[in-house]
A and B are shown apart, each in its own frame.
Chain A
Amino acid sequence: MRVAVQRWAAWANGVEGESGWRVWARRPEAPIPGDPPDVSFLPALQRRRCDALARAMLYVAHECCPDESIASLPTVFASRHGPIATTVTLLHDLAEQRPVSPTRFSHSVHNTPAGLFSIWSGNRQPSTSVSARQESFVQGYVEALCTLHRRAARRVLFVTGDEPIPEELAALHDEGAGGYAVALLLSRDEGDAIRLARRPDEAGQPVSRAWPDALEFVRWWLSDEPTLAIAHGGIRWTWERGAEPSAS
């Protein structure tokens, strides 16, 4: 199956647009927690329903797909923690036996950004939300390939990101602080071809980076390096640009 990156968009606090990301890619660093992006394209009521994660994910989805095609694309949303700030607020409410807000509860499900995206854009296509601990970007990309494979889908919008981890849980967290989102419009027809291969690699150690895998992908995509390798759990994942499809 030929796969190409037709468009992409990314957001982190203080990094603006493609030129901003080109600057960032030359000297990459961890996202700095800060205010979520401006989502003034959303109606006011929907904007109020969006937490930091939904704002970041809808922002990059909109940047990546500014036209009406956004309503007709199947989607995959990948996030390690989902709406974790809302969940932690609910955990405090439960621990202190306070009333639970029904709206807060219904916006605590992991697929909240996907649901809000679908409602805002009027998108009725299949949508999947996935989570896979430190591997959420890589495994989400696999699910995006699964979605492309489904017979009718020529394109898929893959959106990944995490909001800053609440301070109550920060000591237990083993990754960077969060506060970023990336969208990739993957196509079987148009764009720059890309191939993902995976192979067992017992010696492959995960490389410790200050920024998440999704931003490492953006850094690589903006570089002239031919391949990107990311290792997790005894598997080496290798992206190669310009590659035509192999058997699998």
Chain B
Amino acid sequence: MTRSAPHPPCALAELGVVTALGVSIEETWPRLVAGDQSRFVERDDLSPGVVRRFGAVVADLPAVPASLRHLACRNNELALAAYQQIAGGVDAARRRFGDHRIGVVVGTSTSGIASAERAFRERAQTGRLSADFDLAQMEHGGLPEFLTLLAGVRGPHYAIATACSAGAKALVSARALLELDLCDAVIAGGVDSLCQLTARGFGALQSIATGITNPMSRNRDGLTLGEGAALFLVTRDGDGIQLLGAGESSDAHHMSAPDPAGGGAESCMRAALADARLAPEAIAYLNLHGTGTPQNDAVESKAVERVFGHGLACSSTKPLVGHLLGASGAVEAAFCWMLLARRDGDAMAVPPHRWDGATDPELAALELAKPGTRVAAPLPVAVMSTSFGFGGSNCALVLGDARP
């Protein structure tokens, strides 16, 4: 039984998405449900001398306008490619509500740090940072500034910088800005780009998979990095796919390792259910954090079992696009949005969990979705996505749709 929702409607009205799977919803969806792992590319430039696979976006990206040259970096090019997909909706909202009523809240962990890496390489050779480098490219706040200027809006605008939970938490803040009546619409999501800092940093932590990440397997040996962007236009519309609930918590345990007891992971999932006024049985699908590191999967599988018991269809989509760090929470919410949007009657296709099938007896046994899995989706249908980040920052989102 569900009680009436405590929050006013919060619609994820428009979506733009860019990942290794594609640069539009149309391109992404068939590859997502097929579990297409062919999109990873081998690169040796991000960890010099070490060949690893990355969920890189290989399509040509749009150029940052000349007027925003100080913000020209790959991170903002990815943001622009996602923004172009929702620009029409943003324009309509701006005309309807006024530019000062449209906000921007976006998660990122890397910002455009790859531009700073190039600038510092040049400095090591010539003694000077490259001339086209601007501090705004590596500031987390450069991303919301870019989108604010691009969209021609003046509402509250800031980056959420809580590492791998940032893209999910941005949607929670967007909802609060609407409920506080500080905005009438919010551009919200996450953007992250490949760089040496994360490739070598996670390498130093012994956390990069030798092949493609293999979450929940006894053979798992780390994560695979990816890049991309997902941007929603969040509004008060009662129609359309809704953000039904959110839960947040802190581990208070360690900067780069999850609390082995999994209390933070469990409490954010329970808080999201309570916020959505839903029982665990009401969730039709769970998009796991599922990084493929030994520690994450051990903690996460047990926390999921404690909250949901057995039988809930789950998958990690990181074996399809990689770990998008500060964008992952937004991109995985985007995948949830797509499967809600592409429902077929009372059933819903879900992304398969791609792995080697080698069960780890140390983990709680989850119902990992096989290719072709369709789950029952009785109305109102609800799904969950989880994100757990450095610093012990956790966030779970519940998305849903009540429309037939």
Contact = CB atoms under 8 A, between A and B. Distances in A.
Given A126-B250, A132-B144, A133-B141, A168 B123 contact: yes
Interface string B42-78: 0000001000000000000000000000000000000
Interface stretch (A17-25, A59-67, A93-101): A93-101
A207 interface: no
A111 B162 contact: yes
B209 to A, nearest CB: 17
B120 A92 contact: yes
Contact of A200 (B154, B177, B196): B154
Name A's interface SS: mixed
Contacts of A114: 162, 250, 391, 393
A106 B158 contact: no
Contact of A119 (B138, B201, B252): B252
Contact of B173 (A1, A101, A146, A199): A146
B116 A91 contact: yes
A219 interface: no
Interface string B239-260: 0000000001111111110000
A157 to B, nearest CB: 12
Interface string A104-138: 01111111101110110111111111111101100
A110 B251 contact: no
Contacts of B142: 133
B182 A168 contact: no
Interface string A193-204: 000001110000
A109 B200 CA distance: 14
A51 to B, nearest CB: 12
Contacts of A99: 204
A235 B255 contact: no
A228 B292 CA distance: 50
B158 A132 contact: yes
Interface stretch (B82-90, B129-137, B338-346, B367-375): B129-137
B26 interface: no
B148 A233 contact: yes
Given A90-B197, A131-B139, A124 B252 contact: yes
A94 B255 contact: no
A118 B204 contact: no
A82 interface: yes
Given A94-B200, A97-B48, A129 B180 contact: no
B217 interface: no
B201 A123 contact: no
Contact of B117 (A91, A135, A169): A91
A122 B263 CA distance: 13
Contact of A151 (B6, B154, B206, B250): B6
Given A105-B204, A118-B251, A133 B173 contact: no
Instruction: Identify the interface centre among B142, B145, B159, B177: most chain A CB within 10 Å of its CB.
Output: B159
Contacts of A100: 200-201, 203-204
A248 B200 contact: no
A234 B154 contact: yes
A124 B267 CA distance: 10
Contacts of B251: 118, 124
A143 interface: yes
A149 B255 contact: no
A108 B204 CA distance: 13
B76 to A, nearest CB: 14
A234 B152 CA distance: 11
Given A87-B138, A128-B160, 17 more contacts: A81-B139, A91-B120, A94-B120, A95-B120, A101-B204, A105-B200, A109-B389, A110-B140, A111-B162, A111-B391, A114-B250, A127-B250, A128-B173, A132-B144, A139-B156, A151-B6, A235-B100
Interface of B: 6, 48, 98-100, 109, 113, 116-117, 120-121, 123-124, 129, 133-136, 138-142, 144-145, 148, 154, 156-163, 169, 173, 176-177, 179-182, 196-197, 200-206, 248-256, 263-264, 267, 389-393
